[in-house]
Structure formats: structure tokens, C-alpha cells
């Protein structure tokens, strides 16, 4: 999952160190928050459809649970590394804190490629992951969720295995479940919509009408799709999106001068967010190289794919017209690129604020499961909008008050809340 020589965990630690320095944290608190409190590495044996047995490597990292049970997705990816999982767990801690929900940070993963697994084999990987970690996760300990290349069906298999092991019904164990079996209305849209709620507020602060803006998006998975959907509903125009092509093992950018249409592209996209190039060309899309998304002449860039996509090498390719970068993905910007973006005066909405809609709605799902009462979709999205808007303005106010970059402001709020919880518990 690392891009070139970049290590996601080192990036996460550098960002934390910077905030810890500004806050003047004592050494014990720094040592506690700089590394995960617990991590689990395990092997998952799976009998494949051809009768052979394959051993998959699985992880669960629990970074900090001072504010509540751990929370974080499980991603299936062939290039998964424990350092990526460590970084994502740490970012989850800050994400839950910045939107002020009573959860801590965790993350899970399996090194595998779901493209190459049958449904039965995927089910065995899901159930095997739960069997290895069942004593260390649960509704009061650590609550998993879907992430890259995992989905509601995967979560349901995991829930079923957990309930079989523990002999009861525990719908609050895992979120991102199908509707009708403990899933929440609005969960599918939540992360992408949250990205646009924060963008909407930033544009208001800058006195820019969203209907006059043009954006380019990296990725066309769940986050990107619903960000594109809401942004265009609010009147914005998407010039291009990029998408991973699993056959070619590289990404392509799809551009349409008249604007990308959500329904049009969604209809020619596979379950993993891969857009059919042939069908896209048939309906008038230009197909460009994968990194062309960042070079477009637009007002807004939304990286919504993987880590370390904006680097010191491609920041110079960003158009002079770009005013805002909204990080839909986790950790899409390297530390060196951050400095260049800051120097150019581009307004950046950092990942763990911008994409916190997913974990916020996961929290809503957990609450609904635990009280066995479910809200209508409008109520869920209204509560989500309220949370995301409040979090954006808290970070923006801190940014103005301390005269710091938005990422630094978000860290100051999140890290101080977690450090305070650790102090209050007497851990440091």
C-alpha cells in the first residue's frame, strides 16, 4: 500500500509529532500516543475451491481507546502492510476525536485480492479473520466496519461468525451491515456526503458559490461516488474522475468537458469502483493517464482513492486555478507535498475531518443497534450534516485563532482531546 518510498505510519507519526510540539505535550503522553496500544498479527488458513489450502495474513491494530471502544474498518488488499494499518488506526483515533464521538482508533486488514477470490473463499477469509480476533473485539471493545474492497455482505459474515462464537445476538459488534440486518440508513452515502458537507462550508467561508465551481476527483469507489453525487446535486461540475483498472493494473482518468454525470458512470462501474474504458468512450468520455486527474484546470481537487497520491513531484502539476483540496481518502498527501500546498496558499480540508462522515454514521449505526431502534434516512443525514458542519467550523476557528494550517488545527483539537482523556484516566 505504500507509494514508492513513502511509509504511511511514518507520515502519521510526523503529523502527530508536529501537533504534540505545538501543544507542548509531555514525553509520556507523546510516547503513549505515538504508537498503537495493541496490535494483533495472525494467519488465516482457508481451503480454496480447488481443494488446496492458502494461508492469508491478517491484522488488527488498536491505537488508542481512552475515549471509547476502538473503531475502524477492515480492508482487503494485496499490498496491505502492517504499517498502513498502524497509520490508519492512528488516523481513526484523531478522526473520532475531531468530530467528538466517544470512540477510539483501530484498523484491520487482510493481505488478499478479492478480485481473485470466489464468494465462498471470500466468506472463509471473513469468518477466519473473526475466529482469530473474536476475544479482542466486540461492541464494548472494538467495532470493525467495511473499508477498501470490503462490503456489507463481508460484514454480515463476520457478524454471523462472531455471534456463533459468543452464543448471542450482538448487532453492535460491527457496522456497515446490510439494511434490514442492523445496517443504518444513509451509511452508504455518509463518507462521500461528509466530504461535500465540509467543502460546502469551506466555500461559504471563502464566499464562493458552489454552483460556479469545477472539481476533479481521484478514485470512483464508494467515497468518490457519493461525493460526486452530492457535489453535482448542489450545482458543482465534475470535470474528471480517475479509476483503477484491475486488468491493466493501473489507473485511468475519465474526463468530459460538459461534466461527469454520476448515474452515467455508476452504470458502467464494477463493484470495486473500476470504470469500463470501452463503455466510457462510447458515451463521450476522454480516457487519459491515471495521474491526469491532478493536472486539470479546476477549482477543487478531491483525492478519494489511496494513501500518498499527492507528492512533492506532482504538486507542481496542480493548476494555478485550484483553491481547495478536500481529502476524501486517508493520508493522500505526503508530508513534503503538504509544505508545498501550504506555501501556495491552497485551502486544504484534511482527511480525518473531511472523510469523518463514514465513522460518524458508523457510530450512529452502533447506537441504533445497541438500542434496537432505527432512524429514517433523513434523520441520519441531518444528524451527520450537523456533526460534520460543527467539526469543520471548530477546526476552521482554531486555524484562524492559532494562525495554523487546517491540518495542524484539526490535529490540535483531536490530539488535545485524546491526551486529556488519557490524563483523566490516570494513564499519563
Task: Give the residue among 267, 269, 272, 275 at the shortest CA–CA distance from 251.
Answer: 275
Could you give the CA distance from residue 410 to residue 422 in angstroms, rounded to a whole number?
19
**Catalytic choice (14, 71, 95, 107):** 107
Could you give the CA distance from residue 20 to residue 25 in angstroms, rounded to a whole number?
5
Size of the chain in residues: 428
Could you give the CA distance from residue 274 to residue 241 in angstroms, rounded to a whole number?
11
Residue 266 among the catalytic residues: no
Full DSSP string of 49-93? TTS-EEEEEEEEEEEE-TTSSEEEEEEEETT--HHHHHHHHHHHH
User: Interhelix angle for 222-233 vs 187-205, to 10°?
Assistant: 50
Could you give the CA distance from residue 377 to residue 389 in angstroms, rounded to a whole number?
18
Task: Give the residue among 242, 262, 252 at the shortest CA–CA distance from 304.
Answer: 242
Which residues does residue 222 pair with via DSSP β-bridges, in sequence order?
none
Q: Does residue 241 sit in helix, strand or coil?
A: strand
**Positions marked catalytic:** 107
Amino acid at each position: 500500500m505504500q507509494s514508492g518510498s513513502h511509509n504511511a505510519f511514518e507520515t502519521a507519526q510526523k503529523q502527530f509529532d508536529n501537533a504534540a510540539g505545538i501543544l507542548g505535550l509531555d514525553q509520556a503522553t507523546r510516547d503513549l500516543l505515538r504508537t498503537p496500544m495493541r496490535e494483533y498479527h495472525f494467519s488465516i488458513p482457508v481451503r480454496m475451491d480447488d481443494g488446496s489450502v492458502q494461508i492469508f495474513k491478517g491484522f488488527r491494530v488498536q491505537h488508542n481507546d481512552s475515549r471509547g471502544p476502538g473503531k475502524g474498518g477492515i480492508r482487503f488488499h494485496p499490498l496491505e502492510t502492517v504499517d498502513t494499518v498502524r497509520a490508519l488506526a492512528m488516523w481513526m483515533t484523531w478522526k473520532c476525536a475531531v468530530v467528538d464521538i466517544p470512540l477510539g482508533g483501530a484498523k484491520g486488514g487482510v493481505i488478499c485480492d478479492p478480485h481473485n477470490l470466489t464468494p465462498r473463499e471470500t466468506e472463509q477469509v471473513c469468518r477466519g479473520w473473526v475466529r482469530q480476533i473474536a476475544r479482542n473485539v466486540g461492541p464494548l471493545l472494538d467495532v470493525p466496519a467495511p473499508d477498501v474492497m470490503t462490503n456489507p455482505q463481508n460484514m454480515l459474515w463476520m457478524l454471523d461468525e462472531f455471534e456463533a462464537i459468543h452464543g448471542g445476538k450482538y448487532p453492535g459488534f460491527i457496522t456497515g451491515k446490510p439494511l434490514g440486518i442492523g445496517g443504518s440508513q444513509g451509511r452508504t452515502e455518509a463518507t462521500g456526503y461528509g466530504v461535500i458537507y465540509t467543502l460546502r462550508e469551506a466555500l461559504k467561508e471563502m464566499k464562493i458559490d458552489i454552483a460556479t465551481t469545477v472539481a476533479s476527483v481521484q478514485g470512483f469507489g464508494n467515497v468518490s461516488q457519493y461525493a460526486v453525487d452530492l457535489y453535482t446535486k448542489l450545482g458543482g461540475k465534475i470535470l474528471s474522475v480517475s479509476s483503477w483498472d484491475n486488468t491493466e493494473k493501473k489507473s485511468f482518468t475519465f474526463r468530459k468537458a460538459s461534466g461527469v454525470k454520476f448515474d452515467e458512470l455508476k452504470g458502467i462501474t464494477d463493484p470495486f469502483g473500476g470504470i469500463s474504458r470501452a463503455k466510457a468512450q462510447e458515451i463521450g468520455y476522454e480516457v487519459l493517464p491515471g495521474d491526469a486527474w491532478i493536472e486539470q484546470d479546476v477549482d477543487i481537487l478531491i483525492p478519494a482513492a489511496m494513501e500518498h497520491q499527492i507528492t512533492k513531484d506532482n504538486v507542481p502539476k496542480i493548476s494555478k486555478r485550484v483553491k481547495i483540496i478536500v481529502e476524501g481518502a486517508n493520508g493522500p498527501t505526503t508530508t513534503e507535498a503538504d509544505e508545498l500546498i501550504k506555501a501556495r496558499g491552497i485551502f486544504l480540508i484534511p482527511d480525518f475531518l473531511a472523510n469523518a462522515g463514514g465513522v460518524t454514521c458508523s457510530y450512529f449505526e452502533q447506537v441504533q443497534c445497541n438500542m434496537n431502534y432505527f432512524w429514517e434516512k433523513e434523520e441520519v443525514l441531518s444528524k451527520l450534516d450537523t456533526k460534520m458542519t460543527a467539526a469543520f467550523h471548530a477546526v476552521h476557528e482554531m486555524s484562524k485563532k492559532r494562525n495554523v494550517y487546517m491540518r495542524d488545527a484539526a490535529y490540535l483539537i483531536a490530539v488535545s482531546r485524546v491526551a486529556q482523556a488519557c490524563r483523566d484516566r490516570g494513564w499519563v
